Amino acid sequence: MTLALYGHPFANYCWKVYIAARERGLDYDARMVDPDHPEHQAVCAEANPGGQFPVLVDGDTRISESAAIIDYLDLKPGPGAFMIPENPMEAIEARMMDRMIDDYLAGPQGRLVLIALRPEGSGDPHGETSNRAQLDAAYVWFDRWMEDRTWAAADRFTLADCSAAGAIFYAHWTHPIPENLTHLHAYRKRLLARPSVAATVDDARYFRPFFPLGDGRDPDLP
């Protein structure tokens, strides 16, 4: 039976699972969650309290939360390497970095987008300053972390890199990564060159004009 992934091609947390499925070489049926597909929104509303996506449905199994979905994908036989390392300490490092990337990069990045989408006159200057400061601090930390690494954890492409791809991609559009943070820039370029990530970026191309921040220019993209 084909796995169904409910999500949206432009959504950062959905990128995590699309990238993982591609890395594993697993087929999936991408079900678009948007107002044109209320039946798909209903699946997400049943799957978690916020109606958030991604949601994976596999027969009677329904999983919410991108990291849990990637855990589940590792149970499926496929030609690609597992996204959670088999070595327990490496698995802990991959999960630790997944959480840090979600919390310190994707978190403030997503909140800045929500602030930008507020109706005129109902901005949040304090939230804007504080989320930009959080990204500034995170950029410095992650740049140092990547100084002697190719991938974010366990010396190979893992769950952590599935998280990082969309988080760093959109973070740079939202609040540019300073040029002197060369390790973080190099990691972003490595991620964009990875076929699983490049295909996911491509699937989202149509939606780029809807992004509310930045000037839409990205020299690292074809």
Ligand X SMILES: N[C@@H](CCC(=O)N[C@@H](CS)C(=O)NCC(=O)O)C(=O)O
**Which spans of this chain sit near ligand X (rule: CB under 6 A)?**
11-14, 50-54, 65-66
What is the residue type of 5?
L
- Cα–Cα distance between 156 and 132 in angstroms, integer? 30
Write down the least CB distance from residue 89 to ligand X, Å: 23
User: What are the phi and psi torsion angles at 81 (to 5°)?
Assistant: -65, 150
CB of 178 to ligand X, least distance (A): 25
The nearer residue to ligand X, 143 or 153, going by C-beta atoms, is: 153
**Closest CB to ligand X among residues 12, 174:** 12
In the complex with ligand X, the residue whose CB is nearer, 164 or 185, is 164
Query: Which amino acid is it at 140?
Result: V
CB of 185 to ligand X, least distance (A): 24
| Min CB(44)–ligand X separation in Å | 7
Please report how close the Cβ of residue 100 comes to ligand X at its closest, in angstroms.
13
State the first-to-last Cα distance of the chain, in angstroms, to the nearest integer.
Answer: 35
Q: Which two tokens stand for residue 137?
A: 């601090």
Q: Whose Cβ is closer to ligand X: residue 35's or residue 79's?
A: 35
In the three-class reduction of DSSP (H, G, I as helix; E, B as strand; rest coil), residue 182 is classed as helix
* Cβ at position 65, least distance to ligand X in Å: 5
Report whether 158 contacts 94 (CB < 8 A).
yes
Residue among 30 and 143 whose Cβ is closer to ligand X: 30
Please name which of 136, 131, 104, 135 lies closest in space to residue 116, comparing C-alpha atoms.
131
Residue nearer to ligand X on the CB measure, 13 or 142: 13
